[in-house]
Amino acid sequence: MEFAVEMRSPCCTGKVKKALEGVKGIRSIDVDLATQRLVIEGDVLADTVSGTIEQQTGMAAVLLGHGSAAQNLGAGVAAISIGNSGVKGLLRFVQVDAGTCFVEGSIDKLPSSQPVFLTVHETGDVSDGCNSCGPLYKSEGDSNNTFSGFIKELTPDMDKRAEFRAALSNVRLSDIIGHCVVVHQGNHQDVEQGQSERLACGIVARASGLFQNSKRFCACDGVTIWEQRHKDIESGKL
């Protein structure tokens, strides 16, 4: 994962490294003061990295891109924001090889009762909210070599938040770009049969891979990405 970090002097690089050294799952840390870039390799949530930096150093950290260290096979993002349940979240997708797609994310305001599932659906139609996303998406192939549409069963914590990483086999990110991801309340069979409650959804869109995003200013109002990050935190958006 590649981050822009609000580093202003040489001592800032040491603070960033020290903050991240104890984070489980990080295998390597590469910090460049001149470009204000941080590159992390490992098995760790992007929100964990940015949150640790911001809490321990006070410097803003913004994810610029993510992908496989070996090659960029595609990255995606989905904002879970459609629906009236109050459930909100952000998902990130990375194609790590020809048949495996990693998904990581965090979803808030989940119900604590009944199972909750995250799934991919046939369409990207949200004209009638999440109810128009269609049935579950299933990849082509024989019965032993297909993706059923289920990403993961979510387990919310005491704050009704779920953070997760999942490896999806037999999935190509390019095939699900433009499709809906849906948060369901109900058991596995209810979801399969279309009888669950669809709490919230979002559409999978393409995202920047590693070293593909050089943005420093927000096009909307010209402030730096770090200033916008601080604004979003102060306003409660983050």
H helix intervals, 152-216: 173-176, 188-192
Contact 116, 157 (CB under 8 A): no
**pLDDT for residue 234 is more than 70:** no
What are the structure tokens assigned to 232, written together? 């979003």
Residue whose entry in the numeric block shows the structure tokens 């998406």: 137
Kindly report the CATH number that applies to the domain delimited by 75-206.
2.60.40.200
All structural domains of the chain with their residue ranges: 2-66+210-235, 75-206
Contact 115, 191 (CB under 8 A): no
- Please name the fold of domain 2-66+210-235: Alpha-Beta Plaits (3.30.70)
**pLDDT for residue 3 is more than 70:** yes
Question: pLDDT tens across 180-205, in order?
Answer: 999 999 999 999 999 999 999 999 98
Contact 180, 149 (CB under 8 A): no
What is the residue-averaged pLDDT of the chain? 83
In degrees rounded to 5, what are phi and psi of residue 106?
-140, 135
In degrees rounded to 5, what are phi and psi of residue 131?
-70, -15
